[in-house]
Amino acid sequence: MNRERKPRTCPLQRRRNPEENDGLLFKNRLKEARAARGLSQDELATLAGVSRQTISAIETELFSPTARLALRLCMVLEKRFEELFYMERAPEARDCM
């Protein structure tokens, strides 16, 4: 089966919600905080009540946690929200021009 590749798009254009297309990216320091506590992804997932795959997806920024999950992660890691999560301006991509 021969599948055609979709053309690359600007990362800012991939967002489902047009209100999120504001040039800001939701970032996190979850991996660093988890490592500082000596926890594996699986251990953190168990403490937070989610799967290891969810923790991995959050750490690699493939998934943005809900507010409830983000706060639960803060509680488990004993961090303030702004210590784990922050917004960053998206770098200008050539594909966006």
pTM, full prediction: 0.71
Q: What is the mean pLDDT of residues 55-79?
A: 97
Query: Quick one: average pLDDT of 7-33?
Result: 68
d(CA 18, CA 15): 7
Residue 71 counted as domain residue? yes
In a domain, 13, yes or no: no
67-77: per-residue pLDDT in tens? 999 999 999 99
Which comes out higher in pLDDT, residue 67 or 97? Answer: 67
Of 16, 22, 30, 86, the residue nearest 60 (C-alpha): 30
- Strand, helix or coil at 88? strand
What's the average model confidence in pLDDT over 8-23?
A: 53
Query: In this prediction, what percent of the chain has a pLDDT beyond 70?
Result: 72
pLDDT of residue 2: 58
Q: Is 93 contained in some domain? A: no
**Number of domains, the chain:** 1
**63 lies in a domain?**
yes
89 DSSP β-pair partners: 24
